[in-house]
Amino acid sequence: MAKKIRVTVWGENVHEKTTKETQEIYPEGMHAAIAGFLNRQPDMEACTATLDQPEHGLTDELLAKTDVLTWWAHVAHGDVDDAVVEKVHRRVLGGMGIILLHSAHFSKIFVRLMGTTCQLKWREVAEREVLWVTRPGHEILQGIEDHFIIPHVEMYGEHFDIPEPDDTILISSFQGGEVFRSGCTWRRGAGKVFYFRPGHETYPIFHDKTVQKILVNAVRWARPAGAMAFGTSHKEMGWFLK
């Protein structure tokens, strides 16, 4: 337990260059904001990586030592190199945790992990979201009771085309009447996957203390407890020969 959890906070880093609201709310970028509150945890050590870096900042060396990867992306999913997606996918199956944030529902890595389209409805009118706890006692919800509210959000609505989650831990309602499974977990290979809906680029959602608490919990929940070996396809035990 003495070893810190090594988190890599990946950010698309496009709105940071193009969108005034994002620049005002997150002067150093959303990824830096997320890494910031994670680094205030005594048991975590977070760095950032972005799309515009070589290999999108996700070198083999960095991935190999990453315990948990968080992924925020929105307008540039198509610019992510398939070879990087392949490497990240393999690391998740091998044991690395991954946390997909908001519009990362359409990222190549999430779509590949799910095997579905991950499509959903959306509307952007800064409406109110109420997030209801549907699995009290879940590790990711430590310290969260009953529900919490984010006053201004982009709406995401069902049907959200995902495989049935292992655990649906948060369901949102929106002012407009829609619902959404906002906190969902899956295991894939030896890795743990958490999709978390909040986090739009034009609202200060990653400055919200409850959102931060959930992400801190999620990093702890997603850290690897073991590994899956690849290519272990041919083994003989041979008791039947005796």
Exposure string of 197-224, with b = 16+ CB inside 10 Å and e = fewer, is bbbbbbbebbebeebbbbbbbbbbbbbb
Cα torsion through 157, 162, 167, 170, rounded to 10: -10
**Shortest Å distance, C-beta 201 to its own copies:** 18
Q: Closest CB to its own copies among 28 and 126?
A: 126
Cβ contact 48:61 at 8 Å: no
**Shortest Å distance, C-beta 11 to its own copies:** 23
Q: Closest CB to its own copies among 155 and 205?
A: 155
Cβ contact 237:105 at 8 Å: no
Q: Closest CB to its own copies among 11 and 224?
A: 224
**Shortest Å distance, C-beta 187 to its own copies:** 7
Q: Closest CB to its own copies among 25 and 216?
A: 216
How far, in Å, CA of 173 to CA of 150, rounded? 11
For residue 131, give both structure tokens: 């997030």
Q: Closest CB to its own copies among 20 and 187?
A: 187
**Shortest Å distance, C-beta 16 to its own copies:** 24
Exposure string of 104-142, with b = 16+ CB inside 10 Å and e = fewer, is bbbbbbbbbbbeeebebeeeeeebebebebebeebebbe
**Shortest Å distance, C-beta 139 to its own copies:** 4
